[in-house]
Amino acid sequence: RTEVGRLVVGSPRDKFSANAIFRTGPFTFSAMATRYGEFTVRGATTALDQTFSAKWLGDLSAGYKFGAFDFTVGADNVFDTYPDEVILANSTGGQLPYSGSSPFGFNGAFYWAKLGYSWK
């Protein structure tokens, strides 16, 4: 029952994303919005089944190119969106408050920086 549920309803039926990139001179700005549809995790019995609601996530980045160097900073999931919390019976005694089946993870916002160099 649980394994069949992973195949049948364990992934969102829909995913929508929109991305915009703006470049001006040495600067590059990027914004992306992604919506993951609802998904269901089936337990050993129907009482343990749980449907998780759809969520929107936003990603932003800004870059600067100087000669052969390219420096970019960004944030994934900038609004710090988390999946719905699992019901207590599925949370391993409260130790795992979020489902590991979430299509966008359960770690919240992530900030990063990247330095690149290209030679020709």
DSSP state of 46: G
In terms of DSSP H, where are the helices of 1-120?
Answer: 2-8
Q: 58, 35 in Cβ contact below 8 A?
A: no
Task: Check if the beta carbon of residue 41 is closer than 8 Å to that of residue 50.
Answer: yes
From CA 32, how far away is CA 42, in angstroms rounded? 31
Any idea which residue has 């999931």 for tokens? 77
Residues sharing a CB contact under 8 Å with residue 51, sequence separation 6 or more, in sequence order: 38, 39, 40
Q: What is the pTM of this model?
A: 0.80
The pLDDT confidence band at residue 41, using thresholds 50, 70 and 90, is confident
Residue 76 pLDDT more than 70? yes
